[in-house]
């Protein structure tokens, strides 16, 4: 009897007879416990005996058991419904079990993934709110959430922009792991005034982050119909694109190499096609894009100014679909579908340029003029706790004429394993690699080319521990290996007197921890630290220079020999204080360190020769300290918000160049570098409407970016090229009806600074300019309006085959936005501008160079779902 | 077919809608009034010209000569005083002399209580390549390309004064071809130069100059701001280097030269 009592206290009772080994499957939702018992009774053949007054029949429950033994099911039920059971005379007797008080207030974890209902794609950043507790969670980069709250019955609402909110009742009597599927909102929405809803921008602790959903990119008018994630950044306050025809962007007064672009955690060093007219990142294969403007979570780093984190789609795990489009510039196609429904899928997306033949027809000297992208992804879900993804990207550009040419390529690959240790502890382990190669062909016939390279491989583990609602700890480590070739000459023929530049190798270890927590009703904090240890390893050689930059020694490092170690700590903290339900203020501090440096004194908007070097004997790590203070408010109309964010950023060990620095094939390259500081500050205002038939935003930025170098501009502070104080961005999308969508984009910014001559002199017939203060003049102000219209050709929106045509006009009022001002050319009889050949007589004029006035385009798009 | 080509060119133009046009840009110029030194002492045994002028403020401006300066070139114990001729021209000539490879020549200029100095050493020069020109529209144009191993430049003085084609205006031109043996992306993709045509029976005098390392550095930075400037891969603008002291600009060069003369024949 004593034994029996002991056993009862553990719920598991092996009484007088043996419980049958019958295996059954039960999957019920929202029924009474008594109904569940009836079902089990029917399926297993055993009968239950209990006092109906003591077993609740009011409480609605969910229960799922797949092919489980009756004993296992009884144990489950005993745990979940506070019962004890015993087998007596082939009857199972059930009695309520009185549990200690502690058990009644026990915390239970509700976890799972939030996905798109049709495609199964993870919805990154979707919110989950528990109505009764007014608390919630946000899905991580893999669509996973975990919420640990007291046992009970809750009403949970899941929402994501562009999707119908979904509310369900969850009985948290036991841990639940569930996938929540959200359905896309129909394109036409009624304007709804909602008061009292707390908007994400207000509530989320993280500041200085911009989310660019692929749909948003697609709605934006695009140059020549090429929808482009990187170009879309020009509409974000605080981001400045170099100019028309460029994918270079500058974030909060930082240089262009201070932006990291991660495609599924693999770096893309040069995301441009056609010299920068288009970027490599098209929305077709993209699931989510986040831009961190310097205030990155501790898990991200390696650049001073921003991280653009692009997550590709994993592929539809419900059904096959393919899509495509063709326009003036390129043809795109993609296919995705399940390998095994609900558990594995694939995606392949490709783009190839159409313009090569056009250029070849116009100029017989052109031999190659093309680019392509290829993106692929597969994923396998082995069980509820393990999922593996593999994604790859390759893209290449080739522009060759008879004598010379340019070519570059990016390749990236990521192998990722997501593992759930428990409902509260999530692990993402990633092996990622990225390579970038650039070649300048100086003689195509002999295959003589200057080639540079940067590549890296990264292994990392990111842990997320969901302690409680709004209390999440992330921590992890990573190891990065880098390889740099700063540019060497190769040829099929022997080349005399060609200098050799040392290849460099570096290793970086990173440890980080980040804690995001709500401290009471109003205050939230996100703080963390990133520790990095950087070292270079041989085989390589380095030059030592004296104070006059004369080389005085050459240091040789054997293969595997370590040198130049830099250990840096990067603390980061953001505080969010809620001012009631509708507004908040946030303050942040972030320190960032950068150990890879782009060496280029080009001012061209186009991809020119790219040389990357590591921190080393002659180049110290770049460091930035950024402070921000912001005010965020949600407005009465659903999905509308206003934000005002100020920042101040001080950057150290910044790189600039000796006058007319020789950056190619120069073994003493480092003596061409100059080091100094940079300061940036600004105010970014943004009014945004995310939902409704009319949506978009209006942004205004006041910003300054200044640099100070002892050896440049006589040591005086000067404006950086990207110092453009005033910037206005207006982006509007209008869903006219079920078939017509219109888009409009208007950008304005102060003209970019440049150095204008203050006088001239003659030398051997050439007119040589003399400059005063660096960047003493500005190009004319930049502004441009683009329009687009998309017409869905299907009358029936339910058809599986959907197709549409898009018209767009870039720069509708034909503004001549100058890229360069030149003073060294003469006007020819045909109106063109050329450099004079006869130096005895010339009539030089100031001229301006611009791109893309009134550029119309159309494209045809289709999808088969 | 012609129609098709027109359509293609239209599309290409639309894709490369780059355009350059006259800009009404006001330059905030300053009266820098710096001394400009332009002169090359060569291996030719002759009177060598050193020009002194002032900087000027506007494009296509006239450089005011610097007159009354005292100039001397020295090499070891040899002194070569220069004489301004004609007076007020800012053009100063050495006595008959020739530069010798391996020796260092120093120029000293005294003007308005300031002393400017510079020095350079000539390197040997490689032979001239065979001249190449081609006929186009009943006229001729030079075909220029890199040649040899060493940095150099070639001055082409082209004259058709004594041909029937010279009916009016200046019937001569000067074309300089620089071959610095550097790899610069702004040079490779430099802007187009205007076409230069000359008639049959024109005379072309070519002079090839050797270039010292310092002169090469000067020419590279000078070209970055002139002939190579305005292409699609421009570099940061900056003042051109110099070998002159005290803030003077320009370059005092010493070169070994080789020259030839060609009559353009049909």
Task: Encode pLDDT of A454-477 as tens digits.
Answer: 999 999 999 999 888 888 999 999
Say whether pLDDT at A102 is over 70.
no
Residue B39: list chain A partners with CB under 8 A. none
Please identify which residue in the block is written with the tokens 């190009």: A779
Tokens 């509530």 sit on residue: A203
Task: Lowest mean pLDDT of A40-49, A224-233, A243-252, A775-784, name the range.
Answer: A224-233
At residue A425, the 3 state secondary structure works out as strand
A606, A762, A827: residue with CB nearest B22? A827
- Peptide linkage before B86 cis (omega within 30 of 0): yes
The DSSP line for A401-419 is: -SS-EEEEEEEEEEEEEEE
- Mutate one of A243, A764, A844 to test the B interface: name it (highest B CB count within 10 A): A764
Question: Nearest Cβ partner of A657 from B60, B194, B236?
Answer: B236
**d(C-alpha A364, C-alpha B118), whole Å:** 49
Instruction: Output A412 or A608, whichever has higher pLDDT.
Output: A412
CB contact under 8 A, B249 and A768: yes
Q: Per the CB < 8 Å rule, is A824 touching B230?
A: yes
The closest alpha carbon to B235, from A600, A822, A284, belongs to A600
Residue A52 pLDDT > 80, yes or no? Answer: no
Residues of B in contact with A855 (CB under 8 A): 14, 17
Q: How far is B147 from chain A (nearest CA, A)?
A: 14
Verify cis geometry, omega within 30 degrees of 0, for the bond prior to A806.
no
Query: Any CB–CB contact under 8 A between B1 and chain A?
Result: no
Among the partner-chain residues A758, A833, A848, the one whose CB lies closest to the CB of B32 is A758
Contact B175 A760 (CB under 8 A): no
The runs of H, that is alpha helices, within A318-413 are 356-362
In chain A, residues with a C-beta closer than 8 Å to the C-beta of B225 are: 768-769, 824
Neighboring chain A residues of B185 at a CB cutoff of 8 Å: 440, 602, 608-609, 664
> Do the beta carbons of residue A310 and residue A229 sit within 8 Å?
yes
Contacts A659 to B, Cβ<8 Å: 221, 236, 238-241
ipTM: 0.93
Q: Check CB contact of B118 with chain A, cutoff 8 Å.
A: no
DSSP designation for A211: E
Q: Does B175 touch chain A (CB under 8 A)?
A: yes
**Cross-strand bridge partners of residue A461:** A429, A477
Backbone angles phi, psi at A24, to 5 degrees: -135, 165
Residues of chain B found within 8 Å of residue A844, distances taken between Cβ atoms:
59-60
Q: Which of A287, A270, A298 is nearest to A460 (CA)?
A: A298
Query: Dihedral sign, CA of A31, A37, A40, A45?
Result: negative
> Which chain B residue lies closest to A764 (C-alpha atoms)?
B38
- Strand-pair partners of A753: A778
Q: Lowest mean pLDDT: which of A515-519, A688-692, B137-141? A: A688-692
The CA distance from A255 to A248, in Å, is 9
Reference A301, options A265, A272, A249, A247; nearest CA is A265
φ, ψ at A164 (rounded to 5°): -70, 130
Residues of A in contact with B227 (CB under 8 A): 766, 824, 835
Residues 6+ away with beta carbon under 8 Å from A863: A321, A322, A323, A801, A802, A803
**Chain A within 8 Å of B31 (Cβ-Cβ)?**
yes
What's the rounded Cα separation, in Å, for the pair A41 and A31? Answer: 15
DSSP label at residue A122: B
Tell me which chain A residue has its CA closest to the CA of residue B10: A362
DSSP-derived 3-state class of residue A203 = helix
- Which helix (H) or strand (E) covers residue A75, if one does? helix A70-81
Q: Which residues pair with A108 in a beta bridge?
A: A149
Taking CB atoms and an 8 Å limit, are A770 and B59 in contact across chains? no
Q: What angle do CA B206, B210, B216 make, to 5 degrees?
A: 120
Task: With CB atoms and an 8 Å threshold, state whether B183 touches A442.
Answer: yes
Q: Which residue has the tokens 């994923």?
A: A379
Closest residue in B to A441 (Cα–Cα): B188
Write out residues 233-252 of B within 8 Å (CB-CB) of A.
233-241, 249-251
Query: Strands A718-719 and A753-754: what pairing?
Result: unpaired
Strand partners, A134: none
A549 min Cα distance to partner chain B (Å) = 16
Q: Is the pLDDT of residue A690 over 70?
A: yes
3-class DSSP state of A569: strand
* Entry field: residues in chain B: 266
Query: Which CA distances in Å does A518 have to A385, A478, A576, A577?
Result: 28, 28, 9, 10
Give the count of beta carbons closer than 10 Å to the beta carbon of residue A82.
Answer: 16
Instruction: Check residue A201 and report its DSSP letter.
Output: H
B29 touching A, CB under 8 A?
yes
- Using pLDDT thresholds of 50, 70 and 90, give the confidence band for residue A10: very low
Nearest Cα to A258, choosing from A793, A864, A800, A722? Answer: A722
| Phi, psi (rounded to 5 degrees) for B76 | 60, -120
Q: Say if CB A667 and CB A501 are below 8 A apart.
A: yes
Q: Is B194–A765 a contact, with Cβ atoms under 8 angstroms apart? A: no
Quickly state the pLDDT bin for A199 (edges 50, 70, 90).
very low
**For chain A, how many helices (H) and strands (E)?**
8, 55
With pLDDT > 70 as the criterion, what percentage of chain B qualifies?
93
pLDDT beyond 70 at A105 = no
Distance between CA atoms of residues A328 and A806, nearest Å: 12
Residues of B within 8 A of A767 (CB-CB) are: 59-60, 226
Q: Inspect the interface and report whether the beta carbons of B193 and A837 lie closer than 8 Å.
A: yes
Q: What is the pLDDT of residue A194?
A: 35
What does the pLDDT look like over A700-757, one tens digit per residue?
A: 999 999 999 999 999 999 999 999 999 999 999 998 888 888 999 999 999 999 999 9
Segment holding A599, helix H or strand E = strand A596-599
Strand order through the sheet with A286-292: A209-211, A286-292, A306-312, A259-263, A266-267
Of B23, B56, B222, the CB nearest to A846: B23
Instruction: For chain A, say whether B2 makes contact (Cβ under 8 Å).
Output: no
Determine the pLDDT at residue B9: 52
Distance from CA of B185 to the nearest CA of A (A): 7
CB spacing of A844 vs B190 below 8 angstroms: no
pLDDT, tens only, A490-544: 889 888 778 889 999 999 999 999 999 988 889 999 999 999 999 999 899 999 9
Q: For residue A687, give how far its alpha carbon lies from the nearest alpha carbon of chain B (Å).
A: 34
Query: Which residues of chain B neighbour A837 with C-beta distances below 8 Å?
Result: 173, 175, 193-196
Say whether A755 and B237 touch across the interface (CB within 8 A).
yes
Integer Cα distance of A261 and A385 in angstroms: 29
Q: How many CB pairs under 8 A join A and B?
A: 255
- Chain B closest CA to A653's CA: distance in Å? 19
What pLDDT does A83 receive? 77
Q: Which residue has the higher pLDDT, B140 or A343?
A: B140
pLDDT band per the 50, 70, 90 thresholds, residue A206? confident
Measured distance CA(A515)–CA(A571) in Å, rounded: 12
Q: How far is A854 from chain B (nearest CA, A)?
A: 9
Contact A722, A779 (CB under 8 A): no
pLDDT at A453 over 90: yes
Contacts of A631 (CB under 8 A, 6+ apart): A583, A584, A585, A643, A644, A645
Contact B22 A497 (CB under 8 A): no
DSSP per position, chain B: -HHHHHHHHHHHHHHT--EEEE------------EEEEEEEESSSBPPEEEEEE-BSSTTPPPPB--S-EEEEEETTEEEE-EESSTTS-EEEPPSB---TT--EEEEEEETTEEEEEEE-----PPPPPP-EEEETTEEEE-----SSS-EEEEEEEE-TTSTT--SS--EEEEEEEE-----HHHHTPPPBPP--B-TT-EEEEEEEE--HHHHHHHHHHHHTTTTTTSSS-B---PPP-S-STT-EEEEEEE-EEEEEEE---
Q: Which residues of B touch A852 (CB under 8 A)?
A: 17
Q: How far apart are CA B144 and CA B135, in angstroms?
A: 14
Please tell me which residue, A637 or A778, carries the higher pLDDT value.
Answer: A778
Q: Which residue of B149, B175, B191 is in closest CB contact with A834?
A: B191
Per the DSSP assignment, residues forming a β-bridge with A642 are A633, A687
Whole-angstrom distance, CA of residue A371 vs CA of residue A397: 4
Grouping H, G, I as helix, E, B as strand and the rest as coil, residue A232 is helix
Nearest-angstrom CA–CA distance, A655 and A263: 26
């Amino acid at each position: 009897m004593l034994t029996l009592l002991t056993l009862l206290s553990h719920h598991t009772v092996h009484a007088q007879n043996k419980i049958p080994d019958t295996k059954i499957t039960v999957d019920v939702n929202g029924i009474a416990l008594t109904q569940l018992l009836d079902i089990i009774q029917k399926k297993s053949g055993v009968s239950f005996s209990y006092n109906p007054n003591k077993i609740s029949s009011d409480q609605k429950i969910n229960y799922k058991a797949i092919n489980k033994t009756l004993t296992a099911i009884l144990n489950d039920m005993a745990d979940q419904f506070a019962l004890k059971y015993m087998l007596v005379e082939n009857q199972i007797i059930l009695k309520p079990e009185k549990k200690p008080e502690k058990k009644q207030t026990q915390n239970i974890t509700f976890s799972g993934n939030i996905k798109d209902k049709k495609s199964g794609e993870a919805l990154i950043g979707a919110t989950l709110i528990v109505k009764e507790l007014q608390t919630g969670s946000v899905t991580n980069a893999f669509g996973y959430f975990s919420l640990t709250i007291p046992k009970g019955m809750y009403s949970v609402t899941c929402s994501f922009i562009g999707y119908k909110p979904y509310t369900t009742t969850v009985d948290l009597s036991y841990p639940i792991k569930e996938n929540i599927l959200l359905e896309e909102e129909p394109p036409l929405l009624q304007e709804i005034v909602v008061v009292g809803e707390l908007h994400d921008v207000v509530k989320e602790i993280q500041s200085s982050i911009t989310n660019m959903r692929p749909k948003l990119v697609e709605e934006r008018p695009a140059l020549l119909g090429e929808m482009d994630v990187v170009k879309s950044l020009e509409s974000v306050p605080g981001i400045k694109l170099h100019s028309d025809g460029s994918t270079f962007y500058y974030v909060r007064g930082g240089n262009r190499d201070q932006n990291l672009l991660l495609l599924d955690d693999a770096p893309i060093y040069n995301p441009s096609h056609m010299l920068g007219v288009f970027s490599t990142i098209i929305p077709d294969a993209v699931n989510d894009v986040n831009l961190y403007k310097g205030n990155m979570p501790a898990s991200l780093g390696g650049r001073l100014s921003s991280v653009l984190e692009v997550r590709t789609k994993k592929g539809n795990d419900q059904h096959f679909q393919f899509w495509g489009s063709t326009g003036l510039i390129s043809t795109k196609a993609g296919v995705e579908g399940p390998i095994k429904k609900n558990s594995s899928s694939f995606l392949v997306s490709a783009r190839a340029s159409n313009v090569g033949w056009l250029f070849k027809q116009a100029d017989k000297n052109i031999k190659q003029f093309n680019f392509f992208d290829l993106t692929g992804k597969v994923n396998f879900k082995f069980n509820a706790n393990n999922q593996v993804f593999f994604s790859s990207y390759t893209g290449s550009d080739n522009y060759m004429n008879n004598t010379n040419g340019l070519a570059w390529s990016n390749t990236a690959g990521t192998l990722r394993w997501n593992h759930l240790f428990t409902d509260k502890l999530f692990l993402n382990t990633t092996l990622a690699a990225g390579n970038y190669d650039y070649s300048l062909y100086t003689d195509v016939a002999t295959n003589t080319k200057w080639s540079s390279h940067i590549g890296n491989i990264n292994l990392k583990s990111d842990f997320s521990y969901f302690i409680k609602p709004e209390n999440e700890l992330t921590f992890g480590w990573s190891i990065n290996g880098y390889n740099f070739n700063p540019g060497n000459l190769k040829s099929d023929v022997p080349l005399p007197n060609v200098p050799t530049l040392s290849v460099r190798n570096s290793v970086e270890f990173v440890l980080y921890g980040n804690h995001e927590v709500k401290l009471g009703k109003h205050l939230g904090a996100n703080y963390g630290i990133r520790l990095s240890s950087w070292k270079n390893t041989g085989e390589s050689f380095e030059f030592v220079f004296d104070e006059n930059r004369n080389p005085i020694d050459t240091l040789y490092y054997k293969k595997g020999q370590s040198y130049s170690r830099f250990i840096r700590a990067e603390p980061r903290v953001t505080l969010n204080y809620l001012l009631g339900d509708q507004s908040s203020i946030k303050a942040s501090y972030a320190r960032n360190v950068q150990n890879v440096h782009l060496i280029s004194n080009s001012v061209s908007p186009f991809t020119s020769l790219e040389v990357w070097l590591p921190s080393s004997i002659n180049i110290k790590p770049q460091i930035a300290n950024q402070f921000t203070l912001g005010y965020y408010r949600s407005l009465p109309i659903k999905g509308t918000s206003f934000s005002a964010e100020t920042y101040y950023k001080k950057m150290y060990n910044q790189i600039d160049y000796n006058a007319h620095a020789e950056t190619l094939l120069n073994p003493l390259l480092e003596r061409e570098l100059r080091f100094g500081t940079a300061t940036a500050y600004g105010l970014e205002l943004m009014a945004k409407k995310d939902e409704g038939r009319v949506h978009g935003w209006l942004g205004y930025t006041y910003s300054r970016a200044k640099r100070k170098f002892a050896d440049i501009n006589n040591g005086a502070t000067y404006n950086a090229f990207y110092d453009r104080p005033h910037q206005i961005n207006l982006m509007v999308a209008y869903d006219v009806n079920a078939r017509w969508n219109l888009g409009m984009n208007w950008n304005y910014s102060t003209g970019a600074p440049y150095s204008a001559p203050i006088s001239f002199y003659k030398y051997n017939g050439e007119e040589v300019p003399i400059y005063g203060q660096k960047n003493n003049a500005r190009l004319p102000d930049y502004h441009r309006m683009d329009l687009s219209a998309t017409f869905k050709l299907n009358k029936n929106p339910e058809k599986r085959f959907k197709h549409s045509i898009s018209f767009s006009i870039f720069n509708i009022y034909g503004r001549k936005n100058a890229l360069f001002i030149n003073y060294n050319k003469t006007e020819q009889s045909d109106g063109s501008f050329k450099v004079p050949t006869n130096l005895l007589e010339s009539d030089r004029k100031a001229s301006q160079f611009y791109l893309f006035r009134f550029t119309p385009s159309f494209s045809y798009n289709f999808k088969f779902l | 077919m012609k129609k098709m080509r027109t359509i293609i060119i239209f599309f290409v133009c639309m894709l490369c809608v780059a355009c350059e046009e006259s800009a009404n840009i006001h330059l905030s110029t300053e009266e820098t009034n710096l001394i400009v030194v332009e002169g090359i002492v060569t291996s030719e045994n002759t009177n060598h010209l050193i020009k002194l002028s002032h900087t000027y403020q506007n494009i296509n401006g006239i450089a005011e000569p610097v007159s009354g300066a005292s100039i001397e070139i020295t090499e070891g114990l040899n002194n070569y005083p220069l004489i301004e001729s004609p007076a007020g021209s800012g053009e100063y000539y050495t006595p008959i002399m020739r530069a010798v490879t391996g020796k260092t020549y120093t120029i000293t200029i005294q003007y308005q209580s300031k002393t400017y100095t510079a020095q350079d050493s000539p390197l040997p020069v490689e032979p001239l390549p065979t001249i190449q020109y081609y006929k186009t529209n009943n006229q001729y144009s030079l075909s220029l390309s890199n040649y040899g191993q060493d940095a150099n430049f070639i001055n082409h003085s082209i004259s058709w004064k004594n041909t029937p084609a010279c009916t009016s205006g200046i019937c001569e031109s000067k074309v300089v071809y620089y071959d610095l043996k550097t790899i610069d992306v702004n040079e490779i993709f430099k802007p187009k130069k205007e076409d230069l045509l000359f008639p049959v029976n024109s005379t072309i005098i070519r002079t090839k100059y050797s270039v010292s390392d310092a002169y090469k550095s000067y020419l590279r930075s000078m070209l970055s701001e002139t002939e190579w400037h305005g292409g699609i891969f421009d570099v940061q603008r900056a003042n051109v280097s110099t070998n002159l002291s005290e803030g003077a600009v320009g370059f005092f060069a010493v070169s070994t030269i080789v020259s030839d003369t060609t009559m353009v024949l049909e």
